[in-house]
Amino acid sequence: MVVLVYGSPGGRLTQALTRVLVLVQLVGVFLSGMTGAIAPMGRRWGPDGPVQPIARTRSVLLDTKTGQLSLVDGRRSDAVAWANLTNAIHETGWAFLELGTSGRYNDSLQAYAAGMVEAAVSEELIYMHWMNTVVNYCGPFEYEVGYCEKLKSFLEANLEWMQEEMELNRDSIYWHQVRLTLLQLKGLEDSYGGHVTFPTGRFTIKPLGFLLLQLSGDLEDLEPALNKSKTKRALGSGSCSALIKLLPGQRDLLVAHNTWNSYQNMLRIIKKYSFQFHESPQGGWAWVTLETTIGNNNPALWKYVQPEGSVLEWVRNIVANRLALDGAMWADIFKKFNSGTYNNQWMVVDYKVFVPGEPSPGSKVLTILEQIPGMVVVADKTEELYQKTYWASYNLPSFETVFNASGLPALVTRYGDWFSYEGSPRAQIFHRNQSGVHDMDSMIRLMRYNNFLHDPLSWCIACSPHPNAENAISARSDLNPANGSYPFQALHQRSHGGIDMKVTNLKLSKALRLQAISGPTWDQVPAFQWSTSPFNSLLHMGQPDLWKFLPIEVWWD
């Protein structure tokens, strides 16, 4: 996950046969009845699922007499919230969403209306993404009963605890932002379901509904914590690469990230939210927050994952992005109510203290935070960045205390350097290749780099065959032979890899701009194509068959 945050004084910018189709519609009916999740829509259907129009703009209006909120087409100047979505997935691999709210309405109404309008412009994509990634997680056809019941009670208890805290702490800006985040989700769920009612007091969110989409990261840890038998996270699985690179002469600071995930997750939307919240800090700032997942391999720590006293990670990171004014403050806010779920190494890059051409300001440019259950460690790494000229992140904790506590030493003993902070394949590739980054293009090449058949650093000695497509800056685990032999799950053939690349620099970040590529890398390897891959039977509604896109520059009006 990467978030670019920019603020200004006074406000916040902040697939398929007919048979399959029928099945899909049936699944929708079951979902609405059984798990209270997502119902099918009365939308136009193509051969590949519901048809998302190329472009659509909608607004949410408030009837001041009745207090009712309603959705209308187009952008209206008196709207509480408006959004437009351009679907360019078949041309670029991305859809783009721009959403704004009006400061004439209170924060709560803005947040709920934002959720409403987002669902209204992106409902087909939401449906297809749900079908590709979430359906059957806890029903309707497959169900790990014990786990799903534990998960449901955990989430209900957690939502209940947060509602109590919100009532007890009405004057707290922290709980105000938690409430706004949940109200936005509530607006999304209500609008998608066609029953809109703005809640003024306590409200409920379905534990196994839209929340599951928000929770995908938190679930990686809720699953082992709640003893799920088959877990999402494969042992040792990479989950994102990141590189922060100070160019020679400090002439620019580049921040780049690529997301690693299952290929079913490739319906992607780049979003820009502009909220006009009243109760948020004043001041001009521009920073980038990004993470790679470190996970937890020490079962003794799962006892710290509890529904009371925890705010799940997906909420904590939004709240920290909205309330912090610098990296240290971001870390202070983020670490409160550590849920021990979605355990990541976070990097906060503060562009407002980076001065091109100047020596290190000593602090504040780069803050690193690492979270595992029961522990959060934070340090300012500005000096190290200026000395080494780069910070690389590749799913291993950099703080020894975190490394030791999270069960990694045992994995190093068992499997060797693959799990060590300095010896893992990506640590070595970044170390060898970072000095070749001198501009945006060379950064993009490194972030898309995967020459596993020829690069000795991609070798896995214990594997047959030795070259492994997971051991690269941008993994292509689909290219590992199915009949190979591998020491652990991450190195097997999987429908998994780096599915994008995003990069920004000082100039672009100030305008919330970035360069981006969607889909698995094809620089040194053949492009991924569903129909010729071993994974064609996995649902991938709405996705292009061939993933072969060039970089694009994302800009906003």
Ligand X SMILES: *[C@@H]1O[C@H](CO)[C@@H](O)[C@H](O)[C@H]1NC(C)=O
Where on the chain is the footprint of ligand X (CB under 6 A)?
A: 55, 67, 84-86, 96-98, 106, 108-109, 150, 200, 226-227, 400-401, 404, 409, 432-433, 436, 445-446, 449, 481, 483, 557
Q: How far is the CB of 227 from ligand X (least distance, A)?
A: 4
- Are the C-beta atoms of residues 392 and 428 closer than 8 Å to each other? no
Comparing CB distances to ligand X, the nearer of 365 and 377 is 377
DSSP state of 530: G
Q: Nearer Cβ to ligand X, position 23 or 55?
A: 55
Closest CB to ligand X among residues 39, 144:
144
Which residues are bridge partners to 292 per DSSP? 345
The distance of closest approach from Cβ of residue 260 to ligand X in the complex, given in angstroms and rounded to an integer, is 17
**Angle at which helices 173-193 and 313-323 cross, to 10°:** 120
- CB-nearer residue toward ligand X: 366 or 443: 443
Question: Is the backbone of residue 376 left (phi > 0), alpha (psi -120 to 50) or beta?
Answer: beta
CB of 133 to ligand X, least distance (A): 23
Min dist. Cβ of residue 32 to ligand X (A): 28
Task: Tell the smallest beta-carbon distance from residue 401 to ligand X (Å).
Answer: 5
Q: Which is nearer to ligand X, 387 or 404 (CB)?
A: 404
CA-closest candidate to residue 213, choices 138, 113, 270: 138
Answer yes or no: are the C-beta atoms of 290 and 3 closer than 8 Å: yes
Q: Quick one: 361 or 465, whose CB is closer to ligand X?
A: 465
Residue 505: CB minimum distance to ligand X, A: 18
Q: What are phi and psi of 239, to 5 degrees?
A: -155, 75
Please state, in angstroms and rounded to a whole number, the distance separating the CA atoms of residues 185 and 183. Answer: 5
Name the residue nearer to ligand X (CB basis): 10 or 436.
436
Distance between CA 97 and CA 94 in Å, rounded? 10
Task: State the minimum distance, in angstroms, from the CB of residue 194 to ligand X.
Answer: 21
CB atoms within 10 A of CB 138: 21
Q: Name the token pair of 432.
A: 């060898």
- Of the pair 302, 330, the CB lying nearest ligand X is at 302
The C-alpha atoms of residue 306 and residue 92 are separated, in whole angstroms, by 41
Nearer to ligand X, 315 or 446 (CB): 446
Q: How far is the CB of 244 from ligand X (least distance, A)?
A: 17
Q: In whole angstroms, what separates CA 520 from the centre of its chain? A: 16
As measured in angstroms, the least distance from the Cβ of 368 to ligand X is: 16
- Residue 197 or 282: the one with the smaller Cβ distance to ligand X is 197
Report which of 232, 302, 235, 291 is spatially closest to residue 258, judged by C-alpha positions.
291
Q: Taking the complex as a whole, how short is the minimal distance between the CB of residue 245 and ligand X, in angstroms?
A: 12
Output 96 or 130, the one with its CB closest to ligand X: 96
Shortest Cβ distance from residue 59 to ligand X (Å)? Answer: 12
Nearer to ligand X, 47 or 67 (CB): 67
The separation between CA 118 and the C-alpha centre of its own chain, rounded to angstroms, equals: 17
The answer for residues whose C-beta is within 8 angstroms of residue 129's C-beta and 6 or more apart is: 213, 265, 267, 542
Smallest distance from the beta carbon of 275 to ligand X, in angstroms? 14
> What does residue 508 show for φ and ψ, rounded to 5 degrees?
-65, -40
Backbone angles phi, psi at 155, to 5 degrees: -65, -40
Instruction: Map residue 550 onto helix, strand or coil.
Output: coil
Cβ 66 to ligand X shortest distance, Å: 11
DSSP 256-303: EEE-EEEGGG---EEEEEE---SSS--S-EEEEEEEEE-----GGGGG
**276 in Cβ contact with 11 (< 8 Å):** yes
Helix orientation angle between 216-225 and 313-323, rounded to the nearest 10 degrees: 140
> Rounded to whole angstroms, what are the CA distances from 418 to 256, 294, 413, 424?
23, 14, 10, 4
Query: Are 490 and 257 contacting, i.e. CB atoms less than 8 angstroms apart?
Result: no
Task: Using the minimum distance from each CB to ligand X, give the nearer residue, 74 or 284.
Answer: 74
